[in-house]
Structure 1
């Protein structure tokens, strides 16, 4: 029997974590990247790294996948680390591709989850609690502010120039409508759930071929980059049975198969957990999952090869820390330097998992840290020039 292996369509921290998780599970990992500077390029655990175009098509992937099938004398497991690569794997599944294992949702499910308007409506129909959502911003006036504006798809980020934007008044909404006249329907609006970053929760899960949840790792965010509305920069692993049950409901509502990253925020007023989004791919913090005992890369592989998926309970009260990312986000948010220092000193008394540093694979952390330091100096110099010009 050929040995199990994975083929990772890598992207930044997601891909780096997947490669390391595969290595920890004893799996051979092949990596596809869209730029030479990707963090995965610097990992010692990738068997072979292939460079594909920035927006690869199936025609770009197939020759590589064929070579790997021949090289390994059998199929591997394809894993997506970005929204774009998730769509590619969905297309392969839709075509009936069978040379490699595709433990991924259907193309229709991926299309729904990569469109915020379709996603939120599907969740409402499935009985999942959401923040108040406005689907037609050209005519819908919100009941209250602030309002978070989200591009419907990852392709629409370029229209907005950001992952989201916060509007605080009706005047700002009117200005937004004027600025994006003719494109307003490419966005949705949602009420901003009040509360600090520690009201944010993430569930990294794997659903098997029977659409049952095979693995689940939960953590509570403590910081994001950028602050409040970005990706995880600081977190702590915590069990939450209520959210496990919500994830199972979401899986059933979507008839979901494969890995997913599901986000919630707790409303401090009602005490309810409100759904934020589902990413139909591996979560950015999948290395955190693995270090706390729930290896979602291994779970996907076992599902693909028809093996039992069984993990012990997750290790709780472990801290995930992207030091430079978290520090920059807090400084940009004008957080008091002494409160940041006090927070970081308290974290030193807990077990910590670095977002990047791993003593057996140190080069990616060195690369990321050097880029972060250059970024800090560049921003500092820019501010100084503005001040003295």
Structure 2
């Protein structure tokens, strides 16, 4: 690991690279480290930017770390930093955002950044259909794509009407989750009563967040599935990968901390028509829940960026970030030679929390928990060929 802190060290790093540099943007350790390893193991030089120096991922042997301005707090300085780096490059770099806040920033300044970087994703107008929940669910309704029952309130009177007819618990989702997470440290609010729904709406409004209100599809964590792919500029999928959750954290509205690869062709039939309709190209991470009431798969959301478990498809033979990199620099995509099955991805720290809560609730026995770890696994932070980030993750004050 090298931490770049001056223009001189940046130039030295650039001079020592022959291939176009991949620039990973953002602080989510599991997402960023997965992307860094996917690219680094494919011999791609990687620069990872974050606003904090205490970053576990900076210690990966597959990247060089660099401190940058915060993309939300100081967006203009953040873009200036990227432009400054770009002006030193010998060849156009490729940008890989790992959070929505980075996606929104680089797409807003796309015309300036494209002088120095490839952005392997659709423009802001198209991408916003995916990360703006209001636009997203309205498009699903227009295309008759199955999803949870959704309401679009304009004001408190609309919320009061919804509160009298929706089933509880229900969820309030912000139009833009990136800023909502930074304000409330959660990606949505769950309401269990009519009064709570109204109060949570007011709470979101106090920070200027518009929301949609949605039913919660019943069922356990194993009803949640995902599809990952890179869609090229013809809107065709490359390297489609599918998974199912085993456990999640936090329970109910969290991320998959333990997942397994599966093959369900029906999932691609749900996603590809939407992608073609909006003419999106780029990496996607789609979440789809099977509704036990009618056994129908219902689309929850699509992230237009690298995602938390992106190293699992690569472990199985489908290196999606590398596909995006190759397509961006004009090289032919490498078709997977062999696709491995029945491999799991584990974020141990969160899975321990999830498992212990399930054990306390008597939803999981201790013996079944131990047995669930059988089989081949890809780990979120631990890697035999890149052990140092894991060692730093054991230090309490280091960011994870």
Counterpart residue number, 2:162: 140
Task: Tell me if structure 2 keeps the 8 A contact 1:218–1:240.
Answer: yes
Deviation at 1:171, TM superposition (A): 3.7
1:322 partnered with 2:347: yes
CA distance in 1, matches of 2:105, 2:399: 34
Task: Tell me if structure 2 keeps the 8 A contact 1:6–1:27.
Answer: yes
CA distance in 2, matches of 1:275, 1:338: 26
CA distance in 1, matches of 2:310, 2:245: 14
CA distance in 2, matches of 1:305, 1:235: 32
Counterpart residue number, 1:209: 233
Q: Tell me, what secondary structure is at the counterpart of 1:7?
A: strand
Q: Tell me, what secondary structure is at the counterpart of 2:92?
A: coil
**Closer, same or farther: CA 104–181 of 1 in aligned 2, 3 Å:** closer
Residue ranges of structure 1 left out of the alignment (5+ in a row): 376-389
Aligned with 1:152 (options 175, 194, 198): 175
**Closer, same or farther: CA 44–167 of 1 in aligned 2, 3 Å:** same
Counterpart residue number, 1:102: 119
Larger mean CA deviation between 15-24 and 110-119 belongs to 110-119
Deviation at 1:294, TM superposition (A): 0.9
Aligned with 1:119 (options 128, 136, 146): 136
Q: Tell me, what secondary structure is at the counterpart of 1:61?
A: helix
What count of residue pairs does the alignment treat as equivalent? 374
Deviation at 1:367, TM superposition (A): 2.8
Deviation at 1:39, TM superposition (A): 2.8
Q: Tell me, what secondary structure is at the counterpart of 1:140?
A: helix
CA distance in 2, matches of 1:330, 1:268: 23
Q: Tell me, what secondary structure is at the counterpart of 2:162?
A: coil
Counterpart residue number, 1:30: 47
Task: Tell me if structure 1 keeps the 8 A contact 2:55–2:398.
Answer: no
Counterpart residue number, 2:260: 236
- Residue correspondence of structure 1 range 163-242 to structure 2 within 5 A: 163-177=187-201, 186-242=210-266
Deviation at 1:221, TM superposition (A): 0.8
Residue ranges of structure 2 left out of the alignment (5+ in a row): 1-16
CA distance in 1, matches of 2:398, 2:62: 25
Deviation at 1:160, TM superposition (A): 4.6
CA distance in 2, matches of 1:236, 1:19: 21
Larger mean CA deviation between 246-255 and 195-204 belongs to 246-255
1:366 partnered with 2:384: no
**Closer, same or farther: CA 304–364 of 1 in aligned 2, 3 Å:** same
**Closer, same or farther: CA 353–75 of 1 in aligned 2, 3 Å:** same
**Closer, same or farther: CA 308–373 of 1 in aligned 2, 3 Å:** closer
- Residue correspondence of structure 1 range 351-362 to structure 2 within 5 A: 351-362=376-387
Q: TM-score w.r.t. structure 1 length?
A: 0.87
Deviation at 1:361, TM superposition (A): 1.3
Task: Tell me if structure 1 keeps the 8 A contact 2:41–2:62.
Answer: no
Q: Tell me, what secondary structure is at the counterpart of 2:381?
A: coil
